[in-house]
Structure 1
Amino acid sequence: MDAISLDATIAITALSRRTWWRRISQGTINRVSDDERGRAMLSWAEVVSHICLPMEPDDLGFILRADAGQADAQNDIGQLFSIAGKHESALYWLQHAVRQDHPDAMQWLGGCYLRGAGVPKDENLGLMWIAKAASHNHVIAQAQIDALRPKGVKRLPT
């Protein structure tokens, strides 16, 4: 049986922790055995209908892989939620991917801070994340940093 963590469930449904625990205690949602990391797990089949945006079947698999800790899937789901305007959900996944040094997630997180999408607008943090992505050879982030350089100042070779 597929299962998803309570924290991921909160992120993808935009329903509160309190709401989910109430549903568990009422028996309308089944809690399954905790995973090896000790996370409270819920039945995926019962959670999927509560996702806060329409998703393609392929995207649903990405959520389970993201919850299992795959940085690429976390980044992809973070971008999907960001594009859909579900910024708090996007941040949950992007921050997980960033903790694994995922350059694309760093660049997207930087953009969130620059725009104030789901977080207070903060140019310093935005530029920091974009610069960090650039230092990991993220092509778009490198172009963004290069665009900030004064004319005639070249980037040092890596």
Structure 2
Amino acid sequence: MPTLDNPAIRTPTAAMLAGVTTRSILRWIEDGTMTGEQCAGRRGATDVVWKVALDSLKGRIPLTLDEQIVQHIIHADEGDPAAKNALGLSFYAAGQYSIAAGWFEAAARQGHVDAMDWLGNCYLKGQGVSRDKALGLKWLSEAAAHGHAVAQHRVDALLPG
């Protein structure tokens, strides 16, 4: 199944990449349109997770899986917030705002300041999420509180005098 050339990732990561639910990934494994296997989870043998071969996601991810993207995917699957933000930026650049916002949120919740700024802007513009000025300001303010100068400028521009 997975090899160094064809890494395996957890189903939640696969779902975020494809812009679908984890249930959809599991259904694709069950019907044979995707390759997956059960593995022990982080909490031991009773915690079972599914991993899917990254190659089996080709055509379901709206990005070209070059070496850099694959590395970001592997690191994001391991929990790296910088890799999650990088994936958000890649999806954003590809016009896949909904998927981008999901990656920005995942990174922002782990304290990644740039992701907070990007997520705030997604909410302000309604890109990939419902337009929500309060949530946009919340995330921009959080980024600004952590020293993000651009976010601070945006917050200052949004708040009256």
Matched, 1:95 2:105: yes
Distance 1:120 1:50, change over 3 A: closer
Give 1:1-158 correspondences, 5 Å limit: 1=2, 2-32=7-37, 33-36=39-42, 38=47, 39-148=49-158
1:31 is displaced (CA, Å) by 1.6
SS at match of 1:4: strand
TM-score (norm 1): 0.83
Unmatched 5+ residue regions in structure 1? 152-158
Opposite residue 6 of structure 1, the aligned amino acid is T
What secondary structure does 1:41 align onto?
Answer: strand
Contact residue 13 and residue 51 of structure 1 kept, 8 A: yes
> RMSD between aligned alpha carbons?
2.1
Contact 1:35–1:41 at 8 Å: present in 2 too?
Answer: no
In structure 2, C-alpha distance between the alignment counterparts of 1:13 and 1:147, rounded to whole Å = 35
Q: TM-score, normalising length from structure 2?
A: 0.81
Instruction: Percent identity, please.
Output: 35
Superposed CA offset, 1:68-106 (max 9, x none)? 100000011112112212122112211111111111110
Instruction: Give the length in aligned residue pairs.
Output: 151
